[in-house]
Structure 1
C-alpha cells in the first residue's frame, strides 16, 4: 500500500512539473514574440499607452498582432501584454473611456483583462 501511495505521489509530481513546463514554454503571455512596432495610442486621461506590434512567424505562418500596455504614471513604466491575436495583419485601437480600450473589436479593461486568442 505504501509503494502504491509513493508511486502516485511521484506521478502527480511529474505531472505538475510537466504542466509547469508546458505553461512556461507555450502558454505564458510573457513568451509572446515582440514583433515590429506599428503604432501607439494614448488613453484620454494619458495614464495608459497601448503599443501595437506585428509579429511574423516566417514563411509558414501568418502575421499576429500584440498589444502592449504601458502605465505612464508609474515610476518604471511597467509593460504588460494585453492583446495577442493570430492570424491578424493590422489593428485598430480606440479608447472607449480612460480604462477601456477596443483593439480590433475586442474590448479590454486594461486594469483587469487581457485578450489572447489561445484562450478564446
Structure 2
C-alpha cells in the first residue's frame, strides 16, 4: 500500500470518529434542552399551590380530589389546580388538573375511578388535564 492510500484511509477514519462524536454531543445537548423546556413550562409538579377551595372523596373512599385557586398576581388571571390524594396508600399527592381563567371548582365523581372537574372527565389515577396542552 502506498502512503497516499494509507493517508486517505486514516483521514476517513478520523472524519467518521469526529462525525460520531459531534452527533452524540448534539443528541445529548438536544435532550438536555428538551428536558429543560419541559421542566420550565410543562412540569405539573412546579405549579403554585394556591388557596384551598374544596375537596371531594370518591364513592369507595380510595381517592380524594382537592382543588386550589392560584392567584398569579395583578397581570395574570386565576387558575384552578386539582390534586389527587391516595387515601389508602402512602403514595405521593399528584396534581391531575390545571386550568387557567377559572376561580371555582365543581368536582363530582361518576364512579370509583372517574372524576369530573369543571366539565373535564378524568380516569384516576392515570389521567391528567392541563390547559397548556389543548
Give the TM-score normalised by structure 2. Answer: 0.83
Aligned-partner SS, 1:96: strand
Residue pairs, 1:92-111, within 5 angstroms? 92-111=106-125
Report the structure number with the largest CA radius of gyration.
2
The runs of 5 or more residues in structure 2 that have no matched partner are 1-14
Contact 2:54 2:105 (C-alpha < 8 Å) held by counterparts: no
| Runs (5+) with no aligned partner, structure 1 | none
Separation in structure 2 between the aligned mates of residue 40 and residue 51 of structure 1, nearest angstrom: 4
- CA root-mean-square deviation: 1.2
* Paired position in structure 2 for 1:42: 57
* Deviation beyond 3 Å, 4+ runs, structure 1: none
Q: Which residue of 2 aligns with 1:82?
A: 96
Aligned to 1:119: 133
Offset, 1:77: 5.2
